Structure 1
Amino acid sequence: MTSAPSIAGTRARVASVLVGLLVAALPAAPVVASPIAAQPAAGHRPPPAHVVGDKTVPAYSYADAIRESVWVETRADTDGDGVRDRVAVDLVRPREAATAGVRVPVIMDASPYYLCCGRGNEGELKTYDAAGVIAKAPLFYDNYFVPRGYAFAAVDLAGTARSTGCEDVGGPAEVGSAKAVVDWLNGRARAFTADGRPVDAAWSTGQVGMIGKSWDGSVANGVAATGVPGLATIVPISAISSWYDYMRYQGNLRAADYPGFLHSYVNGRTDDACAGVLARLRADSADETGDYNRFWAQRDYQPSADRVRASVFVAHGVNDLNVTTNQFARWWQELADQGVPRKLWLYQAGHEDPFDVRRAEWVAALHRWFDYWLQGLRNGVMGEPRVDRETAPGTWTTQRDWPAPGARDVRVPLGAGDGVTGTLGGRGARPGQERAYLDESLTEAELVAEPGTATAGRLVFLSGALTAPLRISGSPSVRLRVRVDRPTTELTARLVDYGTAERISYDNSEGVRTLTTESCWGASTAADDACYRDTEEITAVTDHAVLTRGWLDAAHHRSLRFSSPLLPDRWYTVTVPLNAYDAVLPAGHVLGLVLGQSDPEFTETNDRDATVRVDLGRSELILPAAGRVGLPAVDVAPSVVTAPADPSAARTARDPRQVP
């Protein structure tokens, strides 16, 4: 086979390597994978049947496809039984291509969910025939892509479903188990049939594209961070790039025993087989401190962006409360710094797959992306705008990059306002002018409703009515000068859009409802059809919406690696980072900043009942804004009326513990 010239062969910088990273170091400046031609050009042989012009077409029978199950040997023995772990790989690949000697690339989804919990909007599980060979693989990837000259691999992560070993939740064993499959597809690892016969992957080109939503996409990020040769591209959807940031919000526990909970949720082995791994997860994750340590460094893929050889197609909902937006934003920036070829879809829903947001366009985008990176077809996809962005329900646009080109950090002062509600963007406040609030453990609805009403447990700051649309694009933060009467407290901040608009309703449904109609995406068999229930976005006209949130354990204000308890008579400067966001606030709306403390819907903490004093003159909102910043100067907060929070609904707390 011939390969295309290298893309982005040099790197902008080399990131520092944390202790205990996932794999041994690779060369300092790896070459990013290039698209590989579908067939050799020598001899002017015609292209394979599945290639017509610059795209693949359904040329092969899905019903007659080769279906097989193999077990790939990893380098680890996580269950301590003296035998290397083996991960189950269920394969579907075109029979006619194999008969003709045409090698094919592989689309791979490595998941812990295939037998315990299901994949996709309809919770599909793997099913097998009487011989134990895959009959149905969840999702549409095999139905759509196998007839177009791809193989599909559905991989059970170590310790889940039919694999041996133990799940270590984002750690070296989990990532290594998926990496081993890439190695096998490239002739660097061993695999066996169910009866123990060795089996190779001579039918594979060695070019692999990993895809997956949530935990599955997180594994793709982790494998890419090893720099494994042969991984040509990844498509992480609503995926984690730092497990610390998923389970810890700047030193605050999202929920106690979170790694243990997730391990048990997907564990496919007997309890005693993995008892040691579970005990280590609980001990090493250090719930008692909330610190970032070696355990979390092993599960942080961001510092290894300099090892990534694969291109990356990211998709994420800006209102995802499960895998928050900083997971994609920090990873995206690290990849950008390394010159990694990349693409991004941002949509208004929560923790959703774009297949259930903008289905036809998503399938077409994936098709072109995989054709380019796995089949080597020059279809122009890399010459198009890098970002597709949903600006309002059902309204999409493209832009050159993200954050929005021209976005810059704007420092917005906090003002005293009328004594109840402060101001954003006014003349600020003199140093030493203070506001104090006591921790009341308010829910989000209570925090942000009726901003002009005095409510114990919060501070509210409002801009004037916007004189022009305000584009927020990037990662905001709040810099506070505070004095706290306890050794620590949780500090929370929210940006709120006060103004009536039709918005995605994402709180309880992720913003998408399932319809009774179906659409089909690929070929079907009696055991595995390609048809899925249609979906639509759920919208409602509301008078305000929380845009983004941020949390900080005040004792971690110096470093996430250790605590620095606060002295009650001392002023400290702390920064509360907020999750990345992208939105346009219309003219006439009001931007609000709401400060609180303990946050029972999102975190767990025993550090309550503190009183926080804020020096307004030395505090500010740092707002990433693009274009004209239409924050009018105000000295007295405007009157903003919102519906009061429903007390019964407000006290129905969201469970902060979720599965990615």
Structure 2
Amino acid sequence: MVAPSPAHASDKRPYVRGGQTVPTYSYADAIHESVWVQTPDDADEDGVPDRVAVDLVRPRTAPGVKVPVIMDASPYYACCGRGNESELKEYDENGVISKEPLFYDNYFVPRGYAFAGVDLTGTNRSTGCEDVGGPHEVAGAKAAIDWLNGRARGFAADGSPVTAKAWTTGKVGMIGKSWDGSIANGVAATGVKGLETIVPISAISSWYDYMRYNGTLRSTDYPNYLQGVVSDRIAECAAVTESLANDSAEDTADYNAFWAARDYRPSASRVHASVFVVHGVNDLNVATPQFAKWWDELADAGVPRKIWLHQTGHVDPFDLRRAEWVDTLHEWFDRWLQGLHNGVDHEPRATIETAPGVFSQARDWPLPGTRNVTAKLGTGVAAYTDQGLSEAAAVTDPGTPVAGRLAFQYGPLTRPLRISGSPSVRLRVRVDQPTTQLTAKLVDYGTAARVQYNRGEGVQTTGTESCWGESTAADDACYFDVTERVATTDYAVLTRGYQDAAHHVSLRLTTPLQPGRWYSITVPVNAYDAIVPAGHTLGLVLTQSDSATEAPDTGATVEVDLARSTLVLPVSGPATLTPTAAKPRTTSGLTGGVRPERERP
């Protein structure tokens, strides 16, 4: 807590005391309202502008008292639910919202905020067409902000006009996990006035990078699959559905105009909202380049920002550090939506989990002073042939030759190694096929207690509950507690990277390789932050096709000039990486790989 400034002391808002918002209004007496906001689009081509459903819960304030809005725009309110307990929206007999998922309304409405749950275009009670991260989705969520600021038209269920000017300041903070947070990124990239902050949790900043790993197809028919999961308006949206199938360049995995329309990073300079990024460094659904590249673009644009990184997977911090998260989020919204100078924006910018349950703060991320350290792979030429290895088969027993991989070791380390940022592997290779997938994995070999992110995303639900805000018979504020899933293991895959060899020149086009010719190809490795303890060994494993992608088992043989190939690590503090016990050899043979089930962002 900070001492209240003179401005705080004279604040006339009844819900502000001592420099912070406090419970003032009865949640049981809150106003529930459902509004349909007109968008600028007609995605379903029915001759009528699309409308997005905006379900509001707001405090019953006195005349003249206005409040800002916390908004979660989501495609999941009817199909799949939100939060660890998969809560859905519920409505009363008149079709007005009676229960919003998650705790935001229960906790913040008594403190002088309104909450808006927005159905993305083409989902639940919104019209239009779901275009999977595209312009229609973004325009629909943006229209809700425009309506709150008097720039768009809103209607009640009976068609009568509805405005918000009597009760809101027009200041909006968007929050959400996964797809919800992705749309928050997209709306912020429009520069819309009134959006003061966003809190993207495990969110996408480039849908190409979500569905294509550097020119490698992650899964077939992914855009249409996601559309079908969240929307029941496929029949009304033939043109959009056809575009998702035909314009996404599945046959080549090229980056094109379709993907550029779903890439928010080039518009980071238009972001006027502050940004509070939260992401798991072991998130295998929305991989870490999604936050890391966005974070770098925001930094270059001078956007006020904060970041939390944790060691679990695709997890909301409410299910990781619940008390600390609610307190910090409360301070963040008070600062950017209420204008209360509580110091949260002057705290260390980064909070990072360095071991199970151990969090530390840093001035920035990557850690200040981080530098790239390069390590040679060895000498001579080694070769490996595509085997479609499982990850366990690829990384186990790195000192033993295994067909289909090259394994390198650095260590045992004489001191802890802090990795902070985006590694890469620079390879000098010769391939006997026009292309193949090049896969790199960094592995920490050594016994330690680790978060088991491959099981339940690294968390498990307990039998106890805790409550966050006020409850009613229709909408309770209590949720099962969640703990990290931790076990002692002999090794852990830290991070992974993929590169289609024929896309090594550009992601916009393929450049087939000529057999017999040497190429320099960089495999970008997903951003990471970790401490590899002294006494452990850092491993680098190279394979080709992988269960995380749809890359075919080509049977390609890749020769690697070890002396002209390097591992590049972003390291904070002293580091010496000397290759040891590397026993690569030429291998051959072919086995089938296991393909993943498709995930939802």
Q: Fold conserved (TM > 0.5)?
A: yes
Match of 1:272 in 2: 235
Q: Is the 8 A contact 1:87 1:177 kept in 2?
A: yes
Match of 1:257 in 2: 221
Q: Which AA in structure 2 matches 1:532?
A: Y
SS at match of 1:179: helix
Task: State how 1:151-166 maps to structure 2 within 5 Å.
Answer: 151-166=114-129
Gap regions ≥5 residues in structure 2: 1-5, 584-590
Distance 1:398 1:45, change over 3 A: closer
Match of 2:104 in 1: 141
Q: Which AA in structure 2 matches 1:558?
A: V
Q: Which AA in structure 2 matches 1:474?
A: G
What do the CA deviations read for 1:257-292 (whole angstroms, capped 9, x no partner)?
1101001110132x3201221111100001001000
Task: State how 1:198-217 maps to structure 2 within 5 Å.
Answer: 198-202=161-165, 203-217=167-181
Match status 1:353 vs 2:353: no
Q: Is the 8 A contact 2:441 2:496 kept in 1?
A: yes
Distance 1:86 1:413, change over 3 A: same
Distance 1:438 1:198, change over 3 A: same
Task: State how 1:386-397 maps to structure 2 within 5 Å.
Answer: 386-397=349-360
Match of 2:327 in 1: 364
Match of 1:548 in 2: 495
Distance in 2 between the 1:209 and 1:247 partners? 28
Match of 1:563 in 2: 510
Distance in 2 between the 1:580 and 1:45 partners? 46
Distance in 2 between the 1:550 and 1:443 partners? 15
Q: CA deviation at 1:605?
A: 2.1
Q: Is the 8 A contact 1:254 1:656 kept in 2?
A: no
Gap regions ≥5 residues in structure 1: 1-39, 416-428, 639-649
Q: CA deviation at 1:478?
A: 0.3
Aligned pair partner of 1:180 in 143, 147, 151: 143
Match status 1:586 vs 2:551: no
Q: Is the 8 A contact 1:495 1:548 kept in 2?
A: yes
Match status 1:597 vs 2:597: no
Q: CA deviation at 1:383?
A: 1.1
Q: Is the 8 A contact 1:469 1:630 kept in 2?
A: no
Q: Is the 8 A contact 2:408 2:581 kept in 1?
A: no
TM-score between the two structures when normalised by the length of structure 1:
0.88
Q: CA deviation at 1:211?
A: 0.1
Task: State how 1:21-40 maps to structure 2 within 5 Å.
Answer: none
Match of 2:471 in 1: 524
Q: Is the 8 A contact 2:388 2:553 kept in 1?
A: no
What do the CA deviations read for 1:395-424 (whole angstroms, capped 9, x no partner)?
111000000111011111111xxxxxxxxx
Aligned pair partner of 2:189 in 205, 213, 225: 225
Q: Which AA in structure 1 matches 2:355?
A: A
Distance in 1 between the 2:39 and 2:173 partners? 19
Match of 2:430 in 1: 483
Distance in 2 between the 1:144 and 1:454 partners? 56
Aligned pair partner of 2:451 in 494, 501, 504: 504
Q: Is the 8 A contact 1:556 1:562 kept in 2?
A: yes
Q: CA deviation at 1:516?
A: 0.8
Q: Is the 8 A contact 2:387 2:592 kept in 1?
A: no
Q: Which AA in structure 1 matches 2:54?
A: V
SS at match of 2:392: helix
Q: CA deviation at 1:637?
A: 4.2
Match status 1:53 vs 2:18: yes
Distance in 2 between the 1:320 and 1:636 partners? 30
Q: Is the 8 A contact 1:443 1:651 kept in 2?
A: no
Task: State how 1:286-365 maps to structure 2 within 5 Å.
Answer: 286-365=249-328
Distance in 1 between the 2:127 and 2:146 partners? 18
What do the CA deviations read for 1:220-252 (whole angstroms, capped 9, x no partner)?
000000000100000000000000000000000
Match of 1:538 in 2: 485
Q: Is the 8 A contact 2:388 2:593 kept in 1?
A: no
SS at match of 1:514: strand
Match of 2:32 in 1: 67
Distance in 1 between the 2:276 and 2:408 partners? 37
Q: Which AA in structure 1 matches 2:599?
A: Q
Aligned pair partner of 2:564 in 604, 618, 631: 618
SS at match of 2:146: helix
Q: Which AA in structure 1 matches 2:198?
A: I
Match of 1:76 in 2: 41
SS at match of 2:237: helix
Q: Which AA in structure 1 matches 2:77?
A: Y
TM-score between the two structures when normalised by the length of structure 2:
0.96
Q: Is the 8 A contact 1:488 1:607 kept in 2?
A: no
What do the CA deviations read for 1:326-376 (whole angstroms, capped 9, x no partner)?
000000000001110000000010000000000000000000000000001
Distance 1:657 1:275, change over 3 A: same
Distance in 2 between the 1:358 and 1:654 partners? 33
Distance in 2 between the 1:328 and 1:362 partners? 19
Match status 1:168 vs 2:168: no
Match status 1:404 vs 2:367: yes
Q: Is the 8 A contact 1:158 1:166 kept in 2?
A: yes
Match status 1:609 vs 2:561: no
Match of 2:586 in 1: none
Q: Which AA in structure 2 matches 1:141?
A: Y
SS at match of 1:547: strand
Distance in 2 between the 1:468 and 1:605 partners? 38
Distance 1:306 1:510, change over 3 A: same
Q: Is the 8 A contact 1:167 1:174 kept in 2?
A: yes
What do the CA deviations read for 1:537-556 (whole angstroms, capped 9, x no partner)?
00010000000000011000
Aligned pair partner of 1:92 in 57, 64, 71: 57
Distance in 1 between the 2:411 and 2:294 partners? 34
SS at match of 1:206: strand
SS at match of 2:42: coil
Match of 1:627 in 2: 573
Q: Is the 8 A contact 1:602 1:656 kept in 2?
A: no
Distance in 2 between the 1:48 and 1:482 partners? 66
Distance in 2 between the 1:46 and 1:451 partners? 64
What do the CA deviations read for 1:408-446 (whole angstroms, capped 9, x no partner)?
11111111xxxxxxxxxxxxx2xxx20000000001111
Number of aligned pairs? 589
Aligned pair partner of 1:239 in 203, 216, 221: 203
Q: Which AA in structure 1 matches 2:388?
A: S
SS at match of 2:499: strand
Q: Is the 8 A contact 2:553 2:592 kept in 1?
A: no
